[in-house]
Chain A
Amino acid sequence: MKVRGNVFKYNDNVDTDVIIPARYLNTSSAAELAQHCMEDIDKDFVSRVKKGDIIVAGANFGCGSSREHAPLAIKESGISCVIATTFARIFFRNSINIGLPILECKEASEKIKAGDVVEVNFDTGEIADVTQGLTFKAEPFPPFMQAIIKEGGLIPYLSKEEGK
Chain B
Amino acid sequence: MGMTSTEKILARAAGLDEVHAGQLVMAKLDLVLGNDITSPVAIEEFARFGTDKVFDKNKVALVPDHFAPNKDIKAATQCKCVRQFARRMEIKNYFEVGQMGVEHALLPEKGLVTAGDVVIGADSHTCTYGALGAFSTGVGSTDMAAGMATGKAWFKIPSALKFNLTGKFRKYVSGKDLILHIIGMIGVDGALYKTMEFCGPGVASLSMDDRFTVCNMAIEAGGKNGIFPVDEKTLAYLKESGAAEPRIYTSDEDAVYEKVYDIDLGSIESTVSFPHLPSNTKTLSQCPEVTIDQVVIGSCTNGRLSDLEIAASILKGRHVADGIRCLVIPATQKIYRDAMKEGLFDIFLDAGCVISTPTCGPCLGGYMGILAEGERCVSTTNRNFVGRMGHVKSEVYLASPAVAAASAVAGKIADPARLD
* B63 CB to nearest chain A CB (Å): 14
Question: Is A155 a contact of B385 with CB atoms below 8 Å?
Answer: no
Q: Establish whether residues A93 and B143, one from each chain, have CB atoms under 8 Å apart when the complex forms.
A: yes
Given contacts A26-B72, A67-B37, A142-B24, contact A154 B150 (CB under 8 A): no
Per-residue interface assignment for chain A, residues 144 to 164, with 1 indicating a CB less than 8 Å from any chain B CB and 0 otherwise: 100000000111101100100
Partner of B383 from the list A17, A28, A59, A158 (CB cut-off 8 Å) is: A17
For this complex, 15 residue pairs linking A to B, each with C-beta atoms less than 8 Å apart, are A15-B383, A22-B37, A25-B67, A65-B364, A66-B126, A68-B140, A68-B141, A69-B37, A88-B192, A88-B222, A89-B222, A90-B124, A93-B139, A155-B142, A159-B48
B386 and A17 contact, CB distance less than 8 A: yes
| A40 close to chain B: CB less than 8 A | yes
A162-B150 in contact (CB<8A)? yes
Q: Is the CB of B189 within 8 A of A154?
A: no
A18 touches B189 (CB 8 A): no
Residues in A15-68 with C-beta less than 8 Å from chain B: 15, 17-18, 21-23, 25-28, 40-41, 59-60, 63-68
Closest-by-CB residue of B relative to A71 is B140
* B366 located at the interface, meaning its Cβ lies under 8 Å from any Cβ of chain A in the complex: yes
- The number of chain B residues with a CB under 8 A from chain A is 50
CB distance from A33 to the nearest CB of B (A): 10
Query: Is residue B272 contacting chain A, with contact meaning CB distance below 8 A?
Result: no
Pick from A22, A59, A60, A98: contact of B365, CB under 8 Å: A22
Q: Mark B229-245, 1 if CB is under 8 A from A, else 0.
A: 00000000000000000
Q: In the complex, A71 Cα to B138 Cα: how many Å?
A: 15
- Which A residues lie within 8 Å of B224 (CB)? 89
Q: How far is the CB of A148 from chain B (nearest CB, A)?
A: 8
Closest A-chain residue to B41, C-beta based? A28
A-contact 0/1 string along B96-123, CB 8 Å cutoff: 0000000000000000000000000111
A20 to chain B, nearest CB (A): 11
Across-interface contacts of A153 in B (CB, < 8 A): 142
Taking CB atoms, residues of chain A closer than 8 Å to B341 are none
**Candidates A23, A27, A66; contact of B138 at CB < 8 Å:** A66
Q: Which residues of the partner chain B approach A21 to less than 8 Å between Cβ atoms? A: 365, 387
Contact A18 B385 (CB under 8 A): yes
Closest beta carbon of chain A to B130's beta carbon, Å:
15
Number of A positions contacting B (CB below 8 A): 41
Could you tell me which B residues sit within 8 Å of A by CB distance?
Answer: 24, 37-38, 40-41, 44-45, 48-50, 66-67, 71-72, 74-75, 78, 121-124, 126, 138-143, 145-146, 149-150, 154, 188-189, 192-193, 219, 222, 224, 277, 364-366, 383, 385-388, 392
Q: Are A26 and B140 in contact (CB under 8 A)?
A: no
Least distance between B369 CB and chain A CB atoms (Å): 13
Does chain B have a CB within 8 A of A13? yes
Question: Cβ of A86 < 8 Å from any Cβ of B?
Answer: yes
A155 touching B150, Cβ below 8 Å: no
Interface assignment of A109: CB less than 8 Å from any CB of chain B: no
| A6 at interface, CB cutoff 8 A | no
Contacts A67-B37, A162-B150 given; does A40 touch B387 at CB 8 Å: yes
Confirm or deny: A94 has a beta carbon within 8 angstroms of a beta carbon on chain B. Answer: yes
**Given contacts A66-B124, A88-B192, A89-B224, are A26 and B392 in contact (CB under 8 A)?**
no
Q: How far is the CA of A27 from the CA of B38 in the complex (A)?
A: 10
B386→A18 contact, CB < 8 A: yes
Asked whether B387 lies within 8 Å of A18 as measured between CB atoms, the reply is: yes
Closest B-chain residue to A32, C-beta based?
B74
| Chain A residues within 8 Å of B40, by CB | 28
Whether the pair A40, B124 counts as a contact (CB closer than 8 A) is: no
Contact of B41 among A17, A23, A69, A154 (CB under 8 A): A69
A64, B385: Cβ atoms under 8 Å? Answer: yes
Cβ–Cβ < 8 Å partners of B41 in chain A: 28, 68-69, 72
Whether the pair A159, B49 counts as a contact (CB closer than 8 A) is yes
Would you call B386 and A26 a contact (CB within 8 A)?
no
